[in-house]
A and B are shown apart, each in its own frame.
Chain A
Amino acid sequence: MQILKQLKLTTVAALALTTATIASAETIVLDVVAWKGNEAQPAGFPELLAKFEAENPDIDVELTYVARKDVDKLIPPRLQAGTPPDVTMVDPSLNKLWGDAGFLQDLGQDSEWYGNLKDSVKSILARGDEINIMPLEVIGMGNFVNMGILREHGIENPPLTLDEVVAVCKALEGTDINPMIFAGGFPAMLWVGANGMAVDGPARGEYSTGERKFVDDELFNASLNSVRTLVDEGCFDPKLQAGLDPWSTALEEFKSGRSAMLPQGAWNIGQFSRVEGLDFVFAPMPSVNSEVGMALDLVGPGWAIPRDSSQPEAAAKFIEFFTKEENLSVFLDAEGAYSPFVDAADVMPELAASYGAAREQDSLILWPFSTLEFSKTLQREWEESLTGFLLNLDEDNAETLQRWDDTVEDDL
């Protein structure tokens, strides 16, 4: 009897082990690489991946976080060796670079989601009759404004023009509040871009082909002059701001509630919203070229399937999952971004209403560095030269703008 019982137990255990082995053998591990979805920027991924795995019990998603700056270094060896991740995050520049090299699969322009993409996005991302990327977002870049501070000083609305910004700086004169964070890298670029480009102005492509020169351009010259106006009106100390890190210190400075304005991207809405007592709005960039401010939209990253993906079917399911509005909206909500698809629900919070209003009034420019109209090298040149400009405002505009033209020439 005892032997029979032991035999039964052994059989059950063996069966259970066999079943478990078969089950694990059938589970597909999907290797996904992204520069979002980590603890610092969850982007709704924990929730979305759990949902995807629940809907696809045979797929186990292994998300590996690789920062955007390290993707250029870490993923090409895997693409070249034929052992890439099954799905990888790409942005427009990687889409072009890896797509042109033949490393990415064609996702098909005959798909339903491709048909629903906004034309402006399609025109940037499609490569001939191929599409290698399923874009996830179009995200705004504008001016974060601490409305608590402004209201205390009798200003009820976020500034949308240069004059209104100057009025804010004047109102805060003599207080211990820093009117504006104008870090040399990114915020300075946003200001100069928003004031140097106009909706009905020259096409960005004219600059990058060398047809139009930055150095002779009235708009960009006026834009640099507007920075001098900000300094003259006491909006910020250029020497202090030149070296400020826009990705850490500047954000903490705004969160501390000691600064009234910060040009940055909408991806910060989430983290700023978690700061207790921070009463802020996300407004379009104040501009001399628009009465309602300038919305700067950045075509964000998306998913791509590498050519040698070992799980192309599971990868396709993964991408299909993100094309559904109920799933994508979770990501967009966490990011503070707009959908790249037509007729998609707007999930932007009320605090971004003025940014939305500028977009609706077509006071909108697609950030040329994300549409690849301006190159990555030009972007680096903008960052570096604007830091130099802040350190020496007496320098002629031509010193800065000529550097941009030289970079364009080198790119050509």
Chain B
Amino acid sequence: MSMTDQTTTAPSARKKIDPNLVRKRARMIISHGLVLLLVFIMVMPLIYMVMMSFKTATEISQDPLGLPGSLYLDNYIRALSSMGYVRSVINSLGITISVIVLVVLIGSLAAYPLARIESRTSRIIVMIMALGLATPNFVTITPIYVIFRDLGLLDTYLGIVLAFTALKLPLAVFFYTGFIAALPREMEEAARLDGCSNLQIFWYVIRPLLTPVTATLALFVMLMVWNDFTYPLLLLTDKDKFTVMIAVYRFVGATGIDPTMLFPAAVLGSLPLLALFIVFQRRIVGGATAGAVK
């Protein structure tokens, strides 16, 4: 190779191995790899649960980490037959949706004045609400039970919905107060000049701006209410009113578990929640990220 050849090929070779590009690509590969690894770690228990649900008892005990030999559906048939599945899912859906609606509505309505009226009373109320978040479950369980007994709300859908609403309201007020306090007041002042009442300002100006925080809150409340079995077990006695998590709970023994029943029941128990998330995925993610970039 001549000297001339070398000088003519050198710039293009340098172009091919641009160190900035290499660094950028390396960074991208590493970050993508890390994200994939994190996703794998998070999804692994779910994959394991689904895999186990299709295994026979022998497969589970002899090769707990292996893939199922075939899709053994008997586990699902047995779990379904003893869960009262459809009824309990309808109950869970009804209770969860009612609680979300009430918590969002009451929480946002309560938070608006608390965020806007700057007084010691408002601050004290917000602090009391925050205390509600820190109060352990077992402290409130007896008073709630006794109050609901006196109100005749035991073993009623209304009772369980109100109990969950009361328990999740502090969280909602906490979420909304912080968010509303950070919103600029100019739009509200303009609306007031146009003759809007406080309620109209809330409904037409503030409420649309709450979409991101509402999406996040709804997701939180949905997960908490759906997965809770303590309050349904305490306040409901009629089996027809039981939620799906109580049905799953029946498969956990005091001194052991039957994996061939527990895993399919757990899959069935979380399936409606997953379906809901997939259906509303765009709205939830869109809502949660809206306003993130100004």
CB closest residue in chain A, given B242: A64
- Complex interface bits, B127-159 against A, C-beta within 8 A gives 1, otherwise 0: 000000000011001101110010000100000
Query: Considering the chains assembled together, what is the distance between the CA atoms of A38 and B254 in angstroms?
Result: 10
Query: Considering the chains assembled together, what is the distance between the CA atoms of A131 and B198 in angstroms?
Result: 65
Determine whether A66 belongs to the interface, using a CB cutoff of 8 Å to chain B: yes
- Complex interface bits, A50-93 against B, C-beta within 8 A gives 1, otherwise 0: 00000000000010111111100110111011110000000000
Determine whether A257 belongs to the interface, using a CB cutoff of 8 Å to chain B: yes
Contact A83 B258 (CB under 8 A): no
Chain B's interface: helix, strand, loop or mixed, by majority? helix
CB closest residue in chain B, given A79: B142
Residues of B within 8 A of A35 (CB): 254
Contact B138 A73 (CB under 8 A): yes
Determine whether A222 belongs to the interface, using a CB cutoff of 8 Å to chain B: no
Partner-contacting stretch, out of A1-9, A248-256, A370-378, A390-398:
A248-256
Contact A67 B254 (CB under 8 A): yes
Report A77 CB to chain B, min CB distance, Å.
4
The 4 A-B pairs at the shortest CB distance, nearest first, are namely: A40-B253, A77-B145, A255-B61, A41-B253
CB closest residue in chain B, given A37: B250
Residues of A within 8 A of B252 (CB): 38, 40, 67
Number of A-B contacts (CB under 8 A): 96
Residues of A within 8 A of B234 (CB): 74, 77-78
Instruction: Tell me whether A65 and B249 are in contact in the complex, defined as CB-CB below 8 angstroms, given that A267-B255, A275-B61 are known contacts.
Output: yes
Residues of B within 8 A of A78 (CB): 145, 234
Given contacts A38-B250, A74-B233, 5 further A-B contacts (CB under 8 A): A40-B250, A81-B146, A248-B256, A252-B64, A275-B58
- Most chain A CB neighbours (cut-off 10 Å) among B138, B251, B254, B256: B254
Q: How many residues of B contact A (CB 8 A)?
A: 34
- Complex interface bits, A15-49 against B, C-beta within 8 A gives 1, otherwise 0: 00000000000000001000110111100000000
- Most chain A CB neighbours (cut-off 10 Å) among B138, B251, B257: B257
Determine whether A407 belongs to the interface, using a CB cutoff of 8 Å to chain B: no
Docked complex: A114-135 residues within 8 A CB-CB of B: none
Contact A66 B233 (CB under 8 A): yes
CB closest residue in chain B, given A265: B255
Determine whether B60 belongs to the interface, using a CB cutoff of 8 Å to chain A: yes
